[in-house]
Structure 1
Amino acid sequence: MNPALISAQAAVVVPTLLLIDDEPNILSSLRRLFHGNGYRVLTATSGASGLEILEREAIDLVISDMRMPEMDGARFLAQVRARWPDTVRILLTGYSDVQSIQDAINCGEIYRYVNKPWDDHDIVLLVRDGLERRQLELDKRRLEVLTARQNDELKALNQSLEAKVEARTAQLKAEHEATVAANNKLKQNFITTIKIFSSMIELRAHNQPGHARLVANMARQIAVKLDLAARDVQDVFIAALLHDIGKIGFSDTLLSTPLTLLHGDALGQFRKHPLRAAELLMPLEELRGSAAILRGQNERFDGTGFPDGAAGLAIPIGARILALAADYYNLQQGVTVQRHLRADEARSLIVGASGTRYDPNVVTAFRQIVDNGDGTDKGGVELLSGELLPGMVLARDLVSRDGLMLLSADHVLDARIIEQVRDFEEKSGRRLTVRVRNPKGAK
């Protein structure tokens, strides 16, 4: 025989029936009937002996006669119900005793009752239905227990997953914050490097100390006033810091000669500095926006500028801003004309060139700024080095009188930096004025 078939047959559980009646011939008839239908059949002649069998055997269904000596069927089935509630209970009665049947129903909670004489077919179907109902009830309970256990396991798993998700989320958040902080630090260091390089260019170009930062601050304020995007504002600011980088190879004579006095080869060389500036920055992807601005810084709104002769809106907006900001301070420092103009004189010349040399919209933004101040950053409070405390934040770059940038704006001062500032003053013999934003918020 096929081993798999044997295993399947062995797995089939044959239901066990317990028949109880004090009349041997009735027990014999019932035993033959149910044994022939494939059931395992046990018998007892009294309620007491039936209880003894139930204590030893796993009984699926009991059929008990009602009229028995010492213990009737109702009392017997009531004990079965109390002690073995999963066992199906059927009452067999030969009398039309309604009260006895009610007692059996109420006390024993019987499944059905059968009158004597019974119909073999009916009683077999009744037993089969009772066992099927019992099996369904047991399966239901097992499923409920299994479901409850799985729900508990799922709940525990969800709690574990939630804890893991929270932990991972916290980790990712910390990593993100660390990345953002590192990126911000990198950007700050990048701008600081640009400012240092700008200071070096100023030393070579014989400009007054802080000239490039004045131009850059004005250009940034105009860009903000015109609602440029943050990235475009930064490109303008960086371009302004480096607007003289193309002059790095000029001779001292060329650098010190006002623009209005340049002629011939000197003027030709000067006109190449925007191209040279763009070429120097173009290899750096981060500075390509600034490179385009530097290329167009000497274009004129009316199209008569250089190097490309671009006109109007064809000139990058950053270049239109830089052209005005640079000229405003160049006019005051004698870079453009022979004499140093006052700020109001430089303003008048720029306003008068609106629509020719400069973009009228840029001129309007410029006027709104200078008419409310001088365009420089007046935020914060000025302190002497002896008044500095750890935790204070620089409101603007700290620059020596020679134009050397010592510290970048937004730098948070600590005890070591403050000591270095005081040491610099002692060695240079010059006092520094430091502008900070939070003198009361120092740690």
Structure 2
Amino acid sequence: MPESAAPAAGTATLPTILCVDDEENILSALRRLFRGKGYRVLTAASGAAGLQVLEGESVDLVISDMRMPEMDGAQFLQQVRARWPGTLRLLLTGYSDIHSIIEAINCGEIYRYITKPWDDHDILLVVRQALETRALALEKTRLEQLALRQHAANEAAMAANARLKQNYITTIKILASIAELRGSNQAGSARQMADLARRIAVQLQLDPKETQDVFVAALLHDLGKIGFPDELLSTPLTQMNGQSLGQYRKHPIHAQQLLMPLEDLHGSAAIVRAQLERFDGKGFPDGIAGFAIPLGARILALVADYYNLQQGGMVQRHLREPEARSLILDGSGSRYDPAVVTAFRQVIDGGMAGHAGEGHGGVEILSGELMPGMVLARDLVSREGLMLLAADHVLDARIIAQVQDFENKSGMRLHIFVQRPVPA
């Protein structure tokens, strides 16, 4: 009979894992491993029993052994894929039968396979990444469904597409804010990095899609650090030892793995992966050099270092902006692409006429001057750097009242920039 680790009161929303194996000692080990890590654990001793559990329970992730009587892991996961496609699938295999693994990958479309005996840290990391991947995919699906409903309600298809793009960018910014909560940088720094990266991309005349990929990659460049311990997050790069440095150098790979299920973010994921590469080939994780590094990653590497030098992420003390800029310029040809360094200097020194694009322009007004129909020209952020409303948001009476109420209760004045009205 299938077993369940009974959840405590109030834990109904915990991620649910179903472990399927015909060996009770394996199920017991998995139950002990996951029970104390914030998961609800269900078990089944066969593929048929596992299907019965799935018929009556909402399961986020299935871990199935490969070799089981009557129904092996490949056959079981194939049925799971067909009947519950939203449930992630992991294969647990204790022997090196490559043909069976390939069958499970092809038929069950498994997320990953794990060999027995497993390393507890590795399997916990794989499960956490799998569930984070599923959460991102579900959020993307939710936004797509929301956009479809909005599209049906809108008279103009172009207006619906613009709203979808805005929701997409807002979601990316929210993810960046979540990553910042686990990071050591100042709140709002990811948006500052993203804006500078975008301006450099425009200076280098990248096309709009490439510029967008760079902007999003900069927003999400720290996503792979979410699982870092607090001590590692607060340690400057130059103070890391071999073990912590090795863990740090893997964060771009973890971020890429989280982003890859989202097709629209493949370009940004490639940039995030290569953010620690150096122009001279001495970087990580792939040791590629020169123009083999994606141009977006060459931009992101420079921008991230520029801000991290000022915020204590690279060295123990916080450098002043001129010191950080000087180190960036000194790294031309070694750490950084000389062309990117030149564009950076032109942007910082005012070589671009204005800051065209998202996040700039408009006129600053008081909350009492807001009127329905006004459009935000910049993200509306709190003093702590948390985003309240995204740029291009069209204000209505309800939102205006909420903004004014926020100011009254927080005792702080928001910096509100709205788009200038178009002359009649």
TM-score range, shorter chain: 0.5 to 0.7
Query: What is the identity, as a one-letter code, of the residue corresponding to 1:263?
Result: N
Among 386, 403, 417, which residue is 1:404 paired with?
A: 386
Is contact 1:202–1:403 with CA below 8 Å preserved after alignment? no
1:211 and 2:168 matched? no
Report the 3-state secondary structure (helix = DSSP H, G, I; strand = E; otherwise coil) of the residue aligned with 2:245: helix
Flag the structure with higher helix content: 1
TM-superposed deviation, 1:413: 1.7
How high is the sequence identity, in percent, across the aligned residues?
A: 69
TM-superposed deviation, 1:226: 0.8
1:382 and 2:364 matched? yes
1:264 matched residue in structure 2: 242
Report the 3-state secondary structure (helix = DSSP H, G, I; strand = E; otherwise coil) of the residue aligned with 2:364: strand
1:198 and 2:176 matched? yes
Query: What is the identity, as a one-letter code, of the residue corresponding to 2:396?
Result: D
Report the 3-state secondary structure (helix = DSSP H, G, I; strand = E; otherwise coil) of the residue aligned with 1:205: coil
CA–CA distance in structure 1, aligned partners of residues 312 and 202 of structure 2: 28
Is contact 1:392–1:442 with CA below 8 Å preserved after alignment? no
Report the 3-state secondary structure (helix = DSSP H, G, I; strand = E; otherwise coil) of the residue aligned with 1:401: coil
Cα deviations by residue, 1:4-55 (Å, 9 ceiling, x for unpaired): xxxxxxxxxxxxxxxxxxxxxxxxxxxxxxxxxxxxxxxxxxxxxxxxxxxx
TM-score of the aligned structures, taking structure 2 as reference length: 0.60
1:246 matched residue in structure 2: 224
1:337 and 2:315 matched? yes
TM-superposed deviation, 1:176: 11
Is contact 2:154–2:160 with CA below 8 Å preserved after alignment? no
Is contact 2:371–2:400 with CA below 8 Å preserved after alignment? yes
2:206 matched residue in structure 1: 228
Is contact 1:204–1:248 with CA below 8 Å preserved after alignment? yes
Structure 1 residues 442 and 413, CA, compared in 2 at 3 Å: closer, same or farther?
Answer: farther
Among 241, 247, 252, which residue is 1:274 paired with?
A: 252
Query: What is the identity, as a one-letter code, of the residue corresponding to 1:391?
Result: G
CA–CA distance in structure 1, aligned partners of residues 336 and 304 of structure 2: 12
Is contact 2:198–2:215 with CA below 8 Å preserved after alignment? yes
TM-score of the aligned structures, taking structure 1 as reference length: 0.58
1:346 matched residue in structure 2: 324
Cα deviations by residue, 1:377-431 (Å, 9 ceiling, x for unpaired): 5522222222222232212111112232100011122221111111122232322
Is contact 1:222–1:365 with CA below 8 Å preserved after alignment? yes
CA–CA distance in structure 2, aligned partners of residues 176 and 381 of structure 1: 29
CA–CA distance in structure 1, aligned partners of residues 156 and 366 of structure 2: 34
Report the 3-state secondary structure (helix = DSSP H, G, I; strand = E; otherwise coil) of the residue aligned with 1:309: coil
CA–CA distance in structure 2, aligned partners of residues 250 and 260 of structure 1: 17
Report the 3-state secondary structure (helix = DSSP H, G, I; strand = E; otherwise coil) of the residue aligned with 2:254: helix
Task: Single out whichever of 304-313 and 423-432 deviates more from structure 2.
Answer: 423-432
| Residues 166-177 of structure 1 mapped to structure 2, 5 A cutoff | none
CA–CA distance in structure 2, aligned partners of residues 309 and 412 of structure 1: 46
CA–CA distance in structure 2, aligned partners of residues 236 and 176 of structure 1: 31
2:304 matched residue in structure 1: 326
Task: Single out whichever of 377-386 and 294-303 deviates more from structure 2.
Answer: 377-386
| Residues 33-112 of structure 1 mapped to structure 2, 5 A cutoff | none
Unaligned runs of 5+ in 1: 1-173
CA–CA distance in structure 2, aligned partners of residues 370 and 305 of structure 1: 25
TM-superposed deviation, 1:243: 0.6
Is contact 1:391–1:441 with CA below 8 Å preserved after alignment? no
2:285 matched residue in structure 1: 307
Query: What is the identity, as a one-letter code, of the residue corresponding to 1:437?
Result: Q
CA–CA distance in structure 2, aligned partners of residues 223 and 396 of structure 1: 19
1:84 matched residue in structure 2: none
2:261 matched residue in structure 1: 283
CA–CA distance in structure 2, aligned partners of residues 185 and 233 of structure 1: 20
Task: Single out whichever of 208-217 and 369-378 deviates more from structure 2.
Answer: 369-378
| Residues 119-158 of structure 1 mapped to structure 2, 5 A cutoff | none
CA–CA distance in structure 2, aligned partners of residues 437 and 370 of structure 1: 24
Structure 1 residues 260 and 393, CA, compared in 2 at 3 Å: closer, same or farther?
Answer: same
TM-superposed deviation, 1:185: 1.2
CA–CA distance in structure 1, aligned partners of residues 325 and 351 of structure 2: 12
TM-superposed deviation, 1:441: 5.9
Q: Between Structure 1 and Structure 2, how many residues are aligned? A: 269
1:132 matched residue in structure 2: none
Q: Which has the larger radius of gyration?
A: 1
Is contact 1:299–1:308 with CA below 8 Å preserved after alignment? yes
Structure 1 residues 176 and 409, CA, compared in 2 at 3 Å: closer, same or farther?
Answer: closer
Cα deviations by residue, 1:84-141 (Å, 9 ceiling, x for unpaired): xxxxxxxxxxxxxxxxxxxxxxxxxxxxxxxxxxxxxxxxxxxxxxxxxxxxxxxxxx
2:373 matched residue in structure 1: 391
2:31 matched residue in structure 1: none
Is contact 2:378–2:392 with CA below 8 Å preserved after alignment? yes
RMSD over equivalenced CA pairs, Å: 2.3
Report the 3-state secondary structure (helix = DSSP H, G, I; strand = E; otherwise coil) of the residue aligned with 1:394: coil
Unaligned runs of 5+ in 2: 1-151
Report the 3-state secondary structure (helix = DSSP H, G, I; strand = E; otherwise coil) of the residue aligned with 1:435: strand
CA–CA distance in structure 2, aligned partners of residues 412 and 442 of structure 1: 18
